[in-house]
């Protein structure tokens, strides 16, 4: 087993750190506190080619391995997890189009998506269907020219910028089992009947918009069907979600590392009872525990990424990484706040933002409660075999 990054991965990480230090850190507090969309940072990420992370080079993408993809989300999340979110949903949707799309769909969408000229998202969840995607009610009825779509989607990151917007629908609501009646449509926007009705207020994760999308009588051509075959939508979405868990795990590692660095900086600066608080044994214990857990989460995330590249589908490994890294992020954010004492509760310091951002990681791309069930079932199945 090789626990070292390759030379090219090290260079790539160095480039990412320079971008974060130069462009992201000086702006994050102002942008996040004032609810300003980071348009300049998005443009810089596009110029770096980061919107083409998982897009094949034949379509102008970087075609990076999954560990390199994880490095992107880890390094950006050290400064601002919300900014990583703008890139995250786009990346996972692009990977899904690249894997399952028809050749005409790849040629039409991927080059512009790789350049950042187009952006995309994932419209899966609904008001009454989150973890249970088979319970969605958004329906695509066959017409002479394509599909007539009605329904509501919720918690859609990049909703106001997505073109195309991949939408999980029921093409056959009577199908048994239910997943055989589910498909994904790549809906180009703007389109009559498709409306982003509101931005959802959130505790944290304030960089990207998170929206409700209503589809009312939306007419979609037949060639918008991802892969050109009905009944494949749930499998396509679940493949994308397990890749997305690498993204979430890496964000958890990055946020945790940012929390540790903030705690260390404050502990070396703050004096109490005549000495720096970094000399206090209880503070040292917090730092030691944080650093140990973060390194374990990092190695698990890289392992899951490598398994995804090796196996093509790694639900157990990516689920474990996402579960562990997101829980580490929750603990690290809280411990960093405790190291800061009263100042940790102030918006003048970054740790309160980390504390607000961390809970999303335990919810997104499958709640940790659902993932525990998935992991246990998979392990039990392997044990029986």
Active site residues per annotation: 365
- From residue 355, alpha-carbon distances to 75, 88, 182, 295, 336 in Å are 18, 20, 37, 20, 9
Name the pairing type of β-strands 275-276 and 165-170.
Answer: unpaired
Query: What's the DSSP call for residue 342?
Result: G
DSSP string, 99-123: HHS-HHHHHHHHHHHHHTSSB---B
**Residue 288 Cα to chain centre, angstroms:** 28
Angle between helices 281-311 and 315-340 (to 10 degrees): 160
SS3 56: coil
- From residue 85, alpha-carbon distances to 91, 219, 248, 270, 308 in Å are 10, 29, 9, 33, 21
Q: Smallest Cα–Cα separation from 336: which of 261, 271, 275, 280? A: 261
SS3 307: helix
Torsion over CA: 132, 134, 140, 141 (sign): negative
> Counting Cβ atoms within 10 Å, is residue 269 exposed (0-12), middle (13-18) or buried (19+)?
exposed
Query: What's the DSSP call for residue 357?
Result: H
Name the pairing type of β-strands 275-276 and 182-187.
Answer: unpaired
Calculate the dihedral angle through the C-alpha atoms of 204, 209, 215, 221, rounding to the nearest 10 degrees.
-130
Q: What element of type H or E holds 199?
A: strand 194-199
């Amino acid at each position: 087993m090789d626990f070292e990054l390759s030379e090219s991965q090290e260079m790539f990480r160095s480039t990412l750190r320079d971008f974060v230090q130069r462009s992201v850190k000086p702006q994050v507090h102002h942008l996040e506190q004032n609810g300003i969309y980071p348009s300049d940072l998005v443009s810089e990420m596009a110029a770096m080619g980061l919107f083409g992370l998982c897009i094949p080079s034949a379509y102008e993408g970087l075609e990076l391995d999954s560990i390199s993809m994880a490095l992107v989300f880890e390094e950006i999340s050290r400064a601002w997890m919300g900014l990583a979110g703008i890139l995250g949903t786009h990346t996972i949707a692009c990977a899904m189009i690249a894997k399952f799309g028809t050749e005409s769909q790849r040629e039409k969408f991927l080059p512009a998506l790789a350049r950042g000229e187009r952006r995309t998202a994932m419209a899966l969840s609904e008001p009454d269907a989150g973890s249970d995607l088979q319970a969605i009610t958004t329906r695509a009825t066959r017409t002479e020219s394509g599909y007539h779509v009605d329904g509501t989607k919720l918690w859609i990151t990049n909703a106001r910028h997505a073109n195309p917007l991949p939408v999980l629908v029921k093409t056959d609501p009577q199908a048994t089992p239910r997943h055989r009646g589910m498909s994904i449509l790549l809906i180009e926007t703007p389109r009559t009947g498709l409306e982003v009705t509101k931005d959802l207020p959130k505790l944290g994760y304030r960089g990207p918009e998170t929206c409700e999308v209503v589809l009312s009588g939306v007419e979609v051509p037949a060639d918008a069907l991802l892969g050109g075959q009905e009944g494949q939508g749930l499998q396509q979405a679940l493949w994308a979600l397990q890749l997305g868990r690498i993204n979430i795990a890496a964000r958890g590692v990055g946020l945790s590392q940012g929390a540790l660095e903030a705690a260390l900086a404050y502990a070396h600066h703050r004096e109490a009872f005549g000495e720096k608080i970094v000399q206090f044994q209880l503070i040292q214990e917090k730092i030691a525990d944080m650093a140990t857990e973060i390194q374990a989460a990092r190695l698990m995330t890289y392992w899951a990424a490598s398994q995804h590249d090796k196996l093509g589908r790694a639900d157990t490994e990516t689920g474990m990484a996402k579960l562990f890294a997101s829980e580490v992020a929750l603990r690290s954010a809280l411990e960093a706040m405790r190291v800061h004492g009263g100042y940790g509760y102030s918006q003048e310091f970054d740790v309160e933002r980390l504390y607000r951002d961390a809970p999303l990681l335990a919810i997104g791309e499958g709640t940790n409660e659902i993932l525990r069930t998935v992991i246990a079932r998979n392990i039990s199945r392997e044990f029986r075999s």
